[in-house]
């Protein structure tokens, strides 16, 4: 439009003054061109204003989205805090229950160990008493054996004396035969008594060995029970350590969530500040353009 106006103005200037009709026509066309130019400028201004309005509206939508994102972030943080609190409470409850169970199990194991120890001590005392009784009986048997040996030695001496008197008269020989028969019977009886005493001693020794084996088995059971109690205590210590590590991991997770939330808020705020600054610059440019046009 401005180019057409300039062309008409130049054409009007070149025309002679005598051509009034052409001049009037040209003036009309010039006026129309100027009016169209003003309309075009006004339309262009309206288009610029519409663009600025659209930019402002877009900035408003961005601010609204940021507000929604901020609300969602706060809701997420609240949910994470609730979940973390619930998880921590659950872990503490499980730890308390596990600690109680371990305490009860430890108490039961200690009670059972004390009962087993008392039983073992009673059996040990009984075995000691049996051993003492067996020792006393063994001493008595030894004394009896010595007496039997002494009697056998006396009988041997009597037999030797009888053998030395073999050359005496026949009556003495008959008496010696009777004495030898009695001595043989006495020797057989002594041998039977000696065999019975030896068999009794062997039985006593076997019983003592059997009781000693039972006592060793009881000692092995006691050592196994003590080992089980030690393993239970080590497991309790390990559980306590694992619970402490879990609590530390929860604290680290909460710290990371707080840092991530702070970084997200800072990034969103920086984005909003940048968009706001751009919007203010566009508004200023539009205002300056409007002032320059008007």
pLDDT of residue 127: 66
Q: How does DSSP assign the chain, residue by residue?
A: -HHHHHHHHHHHHHS-TT-HHHHHHHHHHHHHHHHHHHHHHHHHHHHHHHHHHHHHHHHHHHHHHHHHHHHHHHHHHHHHHHHHHHHHHHHHHHHHHHHHHHHHHHHHHHHHHHHHHHHHHHHHHHHHHHHHHHHHHHHHHHHHHHHHHHHHHHHHHHHHHHHHGGGS-HHHHHHHHHHHHHHHHHHHHHHHHHHHHHHHHHHHHHHHHHHHHHHHHHHHHHHHHHHHHHHHHHHHHHHHHHHHHHHHHHHHHHHHHHHHHHHHHHHHHHHHHHHHHHHHHHHHHHHHHHHHH-
Domain map (residue ranges) of the chain: 2-293
d(CA 112, CA 110): 5
Q: What is the pLDDT of residue 18?
A: 43
Residue 232's pLDDT is what? Answer: 64
Q: What are the average pLDDT values for consecutive 10-residue runs of the chain, which has 294 residues?
A: 57 51 70 74 78 75 73 75 76 72 70 72 69 61 60 61 54 53 58 63 60 60 66 68 70 76 73 72 70 65
What is the structure's pLDDT at 17?
46
CA atoms of 98 and 242, how far apart (whole Å): 12
Per-residue model confidence (pLDDT) at position 35: 75
The contacts of residue 44 (CB under 8 Å, 6+ apart) are 293
Contact (CB, 8 A) for 91 and 247: yes
Provide the pLDDT for residue 86.
77
């Amino acid at each position: 439009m401005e180019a057409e106006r300039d062309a008409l103005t130049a054409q009007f200037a070149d025309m002679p003054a005598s051509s009034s009709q052409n001049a009037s026509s040209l003036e009309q066309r010039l006026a129309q061109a100027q009016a169209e130019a003003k309309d075009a400028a006004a339309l262009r201004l309206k288009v610029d204003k519409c663009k600025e309005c659209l930019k402002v509206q877009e900035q408003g939508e961005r601010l609204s989205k940021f507000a929604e994102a901020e609300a969602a972030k706060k809701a997420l943080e609240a949910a994470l805090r609730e979940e973390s609190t619930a998880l921590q409470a659950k872990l503490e409850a499980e730890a308390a229950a596990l600690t109680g169970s371990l305490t009860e199990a430890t108490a039961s194991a200690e009670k059972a160990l004390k009962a087993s120890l008392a039983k073992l001590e009673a059996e040990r005392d009984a075995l000691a008493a049996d051993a003492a009784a067996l020792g006393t009986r063994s001493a008595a048997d030894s004394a009896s054996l010595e007496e039997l040996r002494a009697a056998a030695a006396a009988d041997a001496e009597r037999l030797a004396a009888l053998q030395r008197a073999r050359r005496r008269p026949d009556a003495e020989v008959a008496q010696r035969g009777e004495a030898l028969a009695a001595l043989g019977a006495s020797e057989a009886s002594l041998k039977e008594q000696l065999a019975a005493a030896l068999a009794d001693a062997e039985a006593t020794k076997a019983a003592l060995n059997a009781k000693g084996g039972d006592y060793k088995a009881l000692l092995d059971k006691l050592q196994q029970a003590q080992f089980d109690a030690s393993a239970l205590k080590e497991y309790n210590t390990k559980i306590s350590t694992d619970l402490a590590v879990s609590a530390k991991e929860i604290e680290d997770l909460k710290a990371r969530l707080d840092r991530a939330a702070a970084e997200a808020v800072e990034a969103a705020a920086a984005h909003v500040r940048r968009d706001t600054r751009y919007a203010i610059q566009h508004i200023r440019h539009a205002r300056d353009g409007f002032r320059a046009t008007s």
